[in-house]
Amino acid sequence: MQNSIREQEERPRVGLALSGGAARGAAHVGVLRVLEEQGVPVDCIAGTSAGALVGGAYAAGLMLDQLEEFALRMRWRDFGRVTLSKRGVQSNARLEEFIRARFPVSRFEDLRIPFAAVAADLKTGAAVVMREGDLAFAIRASCAVPGWYVPVVDEANRQLVDGGIVANLPVRALRKFQPPPDILVGVDVNFEGAKFLGPPRTALGILFQTFMVVQRSISAHEQRAADVVIVPRVGHIRWDEMARGEELIWLGREAALEAVGPIKELIEERTRGAGARAGRHTGAPRADARHAQLTEPVPATAPDDHGRGATHVRKAPAPRRRA
């Protein structure tokens, strides 16, 4: 135990941000499987919508075999039921019941890994980052797709909806953890958009495409805060195709395998840098200062047409030498 604690203190902390993407969220399970198999540490997790469900389950202590079973068996009927409310077609209270029945813990304070679920305040449009209290409620709120599910009302009387409208890839939410992680890794299952759609030909199609453009723009802003962004090649799969869980898990695994090398290099590089700074007794900049110097993304692996993903790596410039 003491060696484990010492190892965590010596190496940089790694934060993982899991994006929303409805059925595509099953790809996150494949990513987590690879990170665990390859010994890549995950010190904290932030998730939006489907990413909140998968990330919350993993943080709660569910084994990856159990997560894969959920991804293969879950259907939309497990999320909601029809309601007479004027604020939505369905209530997603059933998702909250599902979580309470299957997760080993029900409160953030009891999680194995620190975790945050991101929702949106429907009135103000602000991101709501939940890191304490009722875990099942927070995940339900993060998954409440506006217009389809009835908004979830919290203790502050805020109407909360799916966090995907404000932070679909919640990289910046990772900075709210104390201490903040040193390396930020994002997994964006919506980056490829909707390859199954042609040019919009109706008003509804234009509206949907507009929503996608806005969401990708928001995610691009979040990506710039990440050190590594993993992009599973899932753009050909619709968000409602939950029956394709096995394929989605495999695609997540393929993308993560491409990212393991760059992530490990960052860990080693920043571990050496921290040791050198400690030896010189010089103050190291905090994570926020380092991210302010990041360059534009450099493709580490280019996506191809055979199901592999893309990994984008951001490197900070080398620190200036002291005279």
Query: Is pLDDT above 50 for 295?
Result: no
Instruction: Say if residue 289's pLDDT is above 80.
Output: no
Residue 240 annotated among the catalytic residues of the structure: no
The pair of structure tokens assigned to 76 is: 């939309």
Q: Residue 3 pLDDT > 50, yes or no?
A: no
How many CA atoms lie within 13 Å of 182's alpha carbon, on the beta-carbon side?
Answer: 19
Given 49, 91, 142, 219, which residue is catalytic? 49
| Whether the Cβ atoms of residue 191 and residue 216 lie closer than 8 Å to each other | yes
Q: What is the pLDDT of residue 85?
A: 85
Q: What integer best gives the mean pLDDT of the chain?
A: 82
* Per-residue model confidence as pLDDT tens digits over 229-241: 999 999 898 878 8
Of residues 7 and 269, the one with the higher pLDDT is 269
pLDDT in tens, 142-188: 999 888 899 999 999 999 999 999 999 999 999 999 999 999 999 99
- Please confirm, yes or no, whether 162 is among the known catalytic residues: yes
Going by pLDDT thresholds of 50, 70 and 90, the confidence category of residue 309 is: low
Q: What is the pLDDT of residue 159?
A: 97
Q: Are 182 and 14 in contact (CB under 8 A)?
A: yes
Q: How many CB atoms lie within 10 A of CB 131?
A: 18
Pick the residue with more confidence: 101 or 220? 101
Decide: 185 and 16 in contact? Cβ < 8 Å: yes
Catalytic residue among 43, 134, 154, 162, which? 162
Q: Does 91 have pLDDT greater than 50?
A: yes
Residue 314's pLDDT is what? 55
Q: Alpha-carbon Rg of the chain, whole angstroms? A: 19
Q: How many CB atoms lie within 10 A of CB 271?
A: 14
According to DSSP, residue 109 is labeled G
